[in-house]
Structure 1
Amino acid sequence: MANTRYESGVYVVEGRSGSDEGPTVVVVAGQHGIEPAGWLTAMQLTALSIDVGKLVIIPFANPPAIIQGVYQTSDGNMNRHFPPEEAPTLDAAAAVWREIQRNDPDVVLDLHSSHGIYQSGVDNGVGQAVFPTAAGLETVVDATEWVNDELIAPSAFGSEYEFTIGTVQGNADQPLLTHKVGHDLDVPGYLVEVTRYGTTLPDRLTWQTAIAIKLLDEHGITVSV
């Protein structure tokens, strides 16, 4: 969306063996302007070196919300404008979806944070959960278990901060990006939610980056910084 208030960069990281070998992964972040862990994680991914495959990274999907420091703008919640089987209902959402389609991804990651913890009664939020599409169910188990064992368990955080697996994405009645990915593309997709409850931004950034890199690894993209 060049020359509009939604103008935003798209970063591409190609494998040393060429992008024709290995999977293509699209990473989206910054749909909400109060979730910096998402776009900071995405920007860290732009600095990775990979052997095969291609990363297409959209760190700042909603620049006006980020600039204003708000969850959503007068245009509404961007992540409610991706109805399955239909065209996105916001121009900026449509631009994100066009970029996803253009790259014909094998995997899609959507990075977010929440004010609470999923299914814990803490602030009615959805943090510390990864919501997979049906095609990503097997992979998400390994990724969440690895982060829990390697990062959460040795830390000062209690067991309520362990990542869980959320509801499967792909419902035709839910207009979230990952639901559209699961329904329309039928590829592995992951809505990654870290919690802002009782955490610092470095905590959230560490966990979200670890999950993203582990998911890439599970899908055949080995990375090095």
Structure 2
Amino acid sequence: MRRRTYLAGGASVLAGIAVSGVVSQPSGNERLLEAAREPPDTGEGSSNTEMIRPGTDHETPLYEIDAPNDGPTAMIFGGVHGDERSGIEAAHEISDWRPDAGTLVVVPETNRVAVENDERRGADGDLNRQFPADREPRSELAAGIWDAVETHEPDVVLDLHRSLGVYGLHREFVGQAIFHSPDARGERLADRLNEDAVPWYLPFHRFTARESSLTGPLLFQHAARELEASAYIFETTEFLLDHSTMVELSRLAAAHVLELHGLLERGGGA
């Protein structure tokens, strides 16, 4: 009860300063997002859609977009938790992006049943706790997701989430944080988002990067552990941020990750 009261109290204090948590978007971000949405100058590339767990209640589409130029493979997930709508919406948009190099693989509704029910957990519990170290995935859905990951062998993995509070400010919540594998570029990602997307009047919403242990049961940890991928879990927050802002932060995080790992080139001479 005290935590809920604190969250509500904090919102009332800052609401007059941050109207619905609107985040400004400088021209550098606009150029980056334009680069993501437009086909590269060297050609269209190709795209393909396949199904994970076809013919089951968990059937969900996976989108593969190949650039005309060679490069790394990045895999982006939304909807591992079905009620975290910002990551789902951002991932749906990202499935229409066109990388400049490499391959972009997107699963917007990873836990389809949980997404349809607008619930965090699915039929087998919390999907993001079903990828333990040194063991097989704990459910048929988790096994199907992992089969797709192994098939595409990503060099980079990004899992989009949202929390209810802010990491370091509210106990038990992890919003505005980027947890990453040791070889990933979490600090650079946080710096870019703080510089380009977090306004001065939301100081508590500056992103924090934290290197993660790879011993846990989360999907991004499993990808880093088993495939040596540079892996990230991105957490925005509902605290003082409206839905459109959370979506915008999620898509910007994805665009920056793709640029940092060589799949995107920022246009306009940034």
TM-score w.r.t. structure 2 length?
Answer: 0.76
| TM alignment of 1:11-160, pairs within 5 A | 11-17=63-69, 21-120=70-169, 122=170, 124-136=172-184, 139-153=185-199, 156=201, 158-160=202-204
Task: Please identify, of 177-186 and 196-205, the stretch whose mean Cα deviation from structure 2 is larger.
Answer: 177-186
Among 249, 258, 265, the alignment partner of 1:207 is 249
**TM-aligned CA deviation for residue 65 of structure 1:** 0.6
How many residues are matched? 215
Matched residue of 2:87: which SS? helix
**Offset at 1:224?**
7.6
Counterpart of 2:61 in 1: which secondary structure?
coil
Q: Does the aligned pair in 2 maintain the 1:48–1:223 contact within 8 Å?
A: no
1:192 aligns with one of 234, 239, 242: 234
Cα contact 2:214–2:221 (8 A) shared by 1 = yes
The answer as to whether partners of 1:135 and 1:182 remain within 8 angstroms in 2 is no
**Residue deviations 1:150-207 (CA, integer Å, cap 9, x gap):** 11035x4x21101001241412xx2111221222222200000111112111110111
Amino acid at match of 2:191: E
Contact 2:178 2:210 in 1 (8 A): yes
RMSD: 1.6
Distance 1:223 1:13, change over 3 A: farther
One-letter amino acid of the structure 2 residue matched with residue 12 of structure 1: E
Runs of 4+ that moved beyond 4 A: none
Cα deviation digits, residues 30-88 of structure 1 (max 9, x gap): 01111011111111111112221001111111111111111113411010100122210
TM-superposed deviation, 1:124: 2.6
SS in 2 for 1:199: coil
Contact (CA 8 Å) 1:152, 1:161: kept in 2 or not?
Answer: yes
Structure-2 separation of matches of 1:159 and 1:50: 32
Q: Within 2, Cα distance between the matches of 1:224 and 1:66?
A: 32
What is the TM-score of this pair, normalised by structure 1?
0.91
Gaps of 5+ in 1: none
Q: 1:134 to 1:167 in 2, by over 3 A?
A: closer
Amino acid at match of 2:198: I
Mapped contact 1:213–1:223 kept (Cα < 8 A): no
Structure 2: gaps of 5 or more residues: 1-52
Q: Is it true that 1:161 corresponds to 2:209 in the alignment?
A: no
2-structure distance, mates of 1:41, 1:163? 18
Distance 1:47 1:41, change over 3 A: same
In the alignment, structure 1 residue 4 sits paired with structure 2 residue 56: yes
Aligned equivalents of 1:91 and 1:169: distance in 2?
Answer: 25
Q: Which amino acid aligns with 2:203?
A: S
Preserved contact between residue 182 and residue 211 of structure 2 (Cα < 8 Å): no
Given that 1:131 and 1:169 are in contact with CA atoms closer than 8 Å, whether structure 2 keeps it comes out as no
Q: Highest Rg: 1 or 2?
A: 2
* Residue aligned with 2:239, SS: coil
Q: Percent same amino acid at aligned positions?
A: 27
